[in-house]
Each structure stands twice: as structure tokens, then as C-alpha cells.
Structure 1
Amino acid sequence: MSDATIPQAPTPSRALILGSTSRYRQELLSRLGIPFNTDSPNVDETPQAGERPADLARRLALAKAREVAQRHPQAVVIGSDQVADLHGEPLGKPGTHERAVAQLRRMRGQTVVFQTAVAVVCQASGYEQVDLAPVAVVFRNLGDAEIEHYLRTEQPYDCAGSAKSEGLGIALLERIDNDDPTALVGLPLIRTCRMIRAAGVPVL
């Protein structure tokens, strides 16, 4: 009988689910080349009284991951949320042109911190973690005509803070300060990679 060690079969990784139907987050996660499914979380996103934007983003990201994980207990589930933080006031998705105009008028010439949170949950293994990737964005002192042209062109009404930095929205900005270039788009991939690896999903 040979003394050679019989190689062990690799432990299969857990299925990966993105707890979001956001096309921006799906596009970001697709960059990793890992198969994943999506499921829409049913979570009330209303801020609590006195809740800071960073705390709101963390709470909602974890709530989304937990809610989807209840339906997929064996899977590794990613939840994420982003809140625009204007001097401690949360700014969500405008939804309409009028609200987007009002948001950008308030944000011009200001530093806005986009609080992007990501949570990873696996019920079967008991793994649960949430992290925050703040991105400080300095807006130009925009004129009303620039705001109107931008909104009519890009229509970013489903984006927190009414701006899409990955598109024409970059022209609204003076500077971006962060440690993860994907965080501003909606899913901080550096943190996400670290967390799903720890939860049992190999990235490389």
C-alpha cells in the first residue's frame, strides 16, 4: 500500500446571495466573478428618532442581511445600505426630480459623507458581521442650471444624495476621500471580500 497522502476534496463553499435588487450593487458584486443570486429584503427603512446617518446605514444593512438569511439559512447573505450624511442629517433617495433639485442645492459647496454599510450573515454557521465605509465627498458650488442639466441627463432619483459618481455625477464634485473606490457606488468590495471569505466563500 502506498504511503502517499490521499488529497482531500476541497470543502464546498456556501451559496452567496446578495440581499438587494439594486443594479448598482449587482454590477459591483459581479466584478468578483463569483456566482450569486439576489433576493429582495423586506425592511422598513424609516430612520429612528435621533438616529445618526452612520448608525442608520449599519442598522439597515444588517437588517437586510438578516431578513434574507431567514429564507436562506445555509447561504452567505450580503446586505448593504447607503445614507448621505449632510452635517449629521440623513439624505436618502430623492425619488422625484423636485426632491433631487432640493438635495443638490443644499449639498453644493458642502462636504457630504456617504455612509455605506455592508453586512454579511450566515445563519447556519452563526457568522454575522457589519462594517462601515464612509466616503467624504466635496461638492462644487453648483449653479441651478448645472443641477437641472445634470438631473435631466442622468435622472439619479434612485441614488442617495441624487448623484452617481460612476457617471456624469463626477462632474458635480471637487474631491472624493475614501479608502475603497467602490463604496461610493453602493457596495464596498474591499470589506465585502474580507467578510465573505471569513464566512466561507472563497474569492480567489
Structure 2
Amino acid sequence: MNTSPLVLASTSPFRRELLARLGLPFTTANPDVDESALAGESPEATALRLAEAKARAVAARFPSALIIGSDQVACLDGQIFGKPGNHANAVRQLQNLRGRQVNFFTGLCLFNAASGRVQLRGVPTLVGFRQVDDAAIERYLHREQPYNCAGSAKSEGLGIALIDRMEGEDPNALIGLPLIALCDMLIEEGVNII
């Protein structure tokens, strides 16, 4: 049985809440990495690279830990829709995404800081956005202010009203932490989850 400390390399309250569902003790740490995509990098490669970068960024502070990194990228017609950062960008994103099918790709990394072992997994989710008018977009953004969410919609909150369907292997992936894949990875490291 692996009793290494578990660290979530994220300050997201939603990822923290998801990880808490597993009932394992863990701490959180701010990974503080540049989340920009690299030129010519696919959305999938961006999410995986950033998930690993986040995990590795906190490894020096937790040299004996199992560190979880996660990142999500939304993509439509080859264009990446990251975190909007402000209201005007969120309006533009939601105007572009409405009535469309959007690929969300969540990259997940489990980094064993003691052994150097890296496990990476990408978990895709296809999301159908409702055809909503500009007034509905404004009402939503004023109520939820999802400026730190890829694609400008929090499916774990009121943003679910912007969505008409989801298709994927893990409902938690869209919120930002694919727990099914994470359980597989933790079991691979010898962690007893149940």
C-alpha cells in the first residue's frame, strides 16, 4: 500500500471538491505555470503538457508526494477557447460557442515525485451548447462570472443551462478532474482508495 502524501497542484475549488469525494487526505498547492498554448500545439497536447507542468511545478515542495495536475482546453474548429479572463472575452466566447458542438479536452497527470514516474491521460468530452441570445449570455455572465473557466461556462453551476448535451467517459472531466482516470492512476501507484 502506498502511503505517500497526495497533493493537488491546483487552487480550483471545484477540483478540490471533486478530489475530496475520494475520501483521501490531500493538500493543495498553487502550481503557478504559464498556461499559454505553444505555436502549432494541438488542444490535446496543450492540456496534457500543462497538466504535467502543473504537477512538476510543485514537486520541489513535496519531494515524496503523489502530485495531481489537471488542465482543460476547449476547442471548436481548431480554435482553442481557454479561460476568458474578463467579461468581454467571455461574451465573445459564448457567442462563438452557442448552437455548436465543442470539444473539451481534460489533461490529467499523476506525478510520483519520489520515483519520477509520470502517468498521463487525456479525457475528452463533447459538449453541445444551446442556441441562446445575447441577453441570456449577459444574464448568465453577470450571475456566475466564469472568467476562469475554459469556454466560459461552469457546468457544475448555472452554466449547465447553456448546455443541451454532453458526451464523454467521465462526467467529472468537464468540471476539471476526471476521477475515473485518476482512480486508475492511484491504483497503479498502490493507493488503496476503498
TM-score (ref. length: structure 2):
0.96
Per the alignment, residue 173 of structure 2 pairs with 183
Q: Which moved more, 1:67-76 or 1:147-156?
A: 67-76
Structure 2: gaps (5+ residues) = none
5+ residue gaps, structure 1, are: 1-10
Quote the Cα distance in structure 2 between the aligned partners of 1:52 and 1:142.
Answer: 29
Secondary structure of 1:184 counterpart: helix
Q: Choose from 152, 163, 166 the match for 1:173.
A: 163
Are 2:97 and 1:73 equivalent residues in the alignment? no
Distance 1:171 1:12, change over 3 A: closer
Q: Does 1:107 align with 2:111?
A: no
Paired with 1:173 and 1:159, the residues of 2 have a C-alpha distance of 15
In the alignment, what sits opposite 2:187? 197
The residue aligned with 1:56 is 46
Distance 2:187 2:130 in 1: 38
Residue 133 in 1 paired to residue 114 in 2?
Answer: no
Q: How far apart in 1 are the matches of 2:30 and 2:97?
A: 30
> Which residue identity lines up with residue 65 of structure 1 in the other structure?
A
Alignment: residue pair count: 194
- Report the residue type matching 1:77 in the other structure: I
Identity %: 54
Answer with 11-20 or 186-195: which moved more: 11-20
Deviations 1:63-105 (A, max 9, x none): 1111212321211000000111112211111111111000000
Larger radius of gyration: 1
| Structure 2 SS opposite 1:50 | coil
Contact 2:11 2:28 in 1 (8 A): yes
State the distance in 1 between where 2:76 and 2:121 align: 20
Runs of 4+ deviating beyond 6 Å: none
Residue in 1 that maps onto 2:146: 156
Tell me the residue number matched to 1:8.
none
TM-score (norm: length of structure 1): 0.92
Which of residues 69, 88, 91 in structure 1 aligns to 2:78? 88
